[in-house]
Amino acid sequence: MKFIFYLLLFYSFFGIAQNNLFQPYNQKIIGNNYNLEMIPINGGDFLMGSPSNEKNRMADEGPVHRVRLEPFWMAKYETTWDLYHLFMNRNIDENQPDFNSQNEVNIEVDGVSGATTPYVEMSFGMGTDGYPAISMTQLAAKKFCKWLSAMTGNFYRLPTEAEWEYACRAGTNSAFSFGDDLSLLDDYAWFKNNSDESYHKVGLKKPNPWGLFDMHGNISEWTLDMHDVRAYQKYSGTLADNPYEKPTKLYPRVVRGGSWMNSDFKLRSASRQVSSKQWKKQDPQIPRSIWWHTDAQFVGFRIIRPLKTPSLSEQEAYWK
């Protein structure tokens, strides 16, 4: 009996310690603050997709199926140019912290590929300081995550499509995280009706119930997944554990959330949009850039950090 008592006591204290670690934090880079605030998202179950009676839903949003996810942190804001320019310029790489055996990631930052300088100014005059970075490819967003991981020692990656929708819904089952009342959309999102044909600084609208800003609108956000119109069908009637449609080809892949260019229905929690070769239509380079989507001035990303650190081989797979 004493053994059982002490075992329960151990797990109780272990659980408390884990919960104390799973708190909001501001990820600084070489001691500098770039407002990279991370919000803890508890794991759990949710219903992914939209019901057949949801207005303007598309066929690839169903059937609704139950998904179970492990806990992770998600960035409070979309990745800004302030951060992305650090990755592009690489001027701070020489200050990479020394090896630390307690880090989740220990890789040489010199070995991380960097985005090439674009042939045009990629904010297209819409603003940089405090504004979301745009027009990068999914590969470029992944390499940013690898670079950030090397510079901080914490493992970062893009969210899966399921993780993104779970965080966006924030415990709701309505079309939007604030409900179904479209008259409220102006309070939460920049979209076609109110954006004045431009993205806006992150965090100006109201957050969702879990404290995440701009999950609806402003810019669409990369996920890790390949788009498959039949992907949800295989999970119908089952509990899907941490689902992820690993890409097998370059197009199409999934972006979420809708943007400053979209009508309201594209901003729904379940709405899925797909990448296309047309996003490079005006790129004059041959071969066309692997880093930039010149014609996707509406696409950016935000990052996550899983509570459970993946193995080294899994880390590399997420960044490729």
Separation of alpha carbons 259 and 252, rounded Å: 18
Three-state secondary structure string covering the chain: CHHHHHHHHHHHHHHHHHHHHCCCEECCECCECCCCEEEEECCEEEEECCCCCCCCCCHHHCCCEEEEECCEEEECCCCEHHHHHHHHHCCCHHHCCCCCCCCCCCCCHHHCCCCCCCCCCCCCCCCCCCCECCCECHHHHHHHHHHHHHHHCCCCECCCHHHHHHHHHCCCCCCECCECCHHHHHHHCCCCCCCCCCCCCCCCCCCCCCCCCCCCCCCEEEEEEECCCCHHHHHCCCEEECCCCCCCCCCCEEEECCCCCCCHHHHCCCCEEECCHHHHCCCCCCCCCCCECCCCCCEECCCEEECCCCCHHHHHHHHC
Encoding tokens for residue 47? 């219903």
pLDDT category at 19 given cuts 50, 70, 90 is: low
- pLDDT at 76 exceeding the cut of 50: yes
Query: Residue 31: its pLDDT value, please?
Result: 95
Q: Say whether pLDDT at 149 is over 60.
A: yes
Strand pairing category for 220-226 and 299-300 = parallel
Question: What's the pLDDT score for residue 192?
Answer: 98
Structural contact between residues 298 and 227, judged by C-beta atoms closer than 8 angstroms: no
For residue 118, is pLDDT > 60?
Answer: yes
Q: pTM value?
A: 0.93
Q: What does the pLDDT look like over 168-205, one tens digit per residue?
A: 999 999 999 999 999 999 999 999 999 999 999 999 99
What would the mean pLDDT of 109-114 be, rounded to a whole number? 94
Categorize the per-residue pLDDT at 285 as very low, low, confident or very high, splitting at 50, 70 and 90. Answer: confident
Assess whether pLDDT exceeds 50 at residue 126.
Answer: yes
Burial code of 299-319, b = ≥16 C-beta within 10 A, e = fewer? bbbbbbbbeeeeeeeebeebb
Which residues is 72 bridged to in the sheet? 41, 306
Average pLDDT, the chain: 93
Q: Tell which phi-psi region holds residue 50, choosing left (phi > 0), alpha (psi between -120 and 50) or beta.
A: beta
Q: How far apart are CA 215 and CA 89, in angstroms?
A: 28
User: Pairing mode, if any, of strands 25-26 and 37-41?
Assistant: antiparallel
Q: How high is the pLDDT of residue 1? A: 46
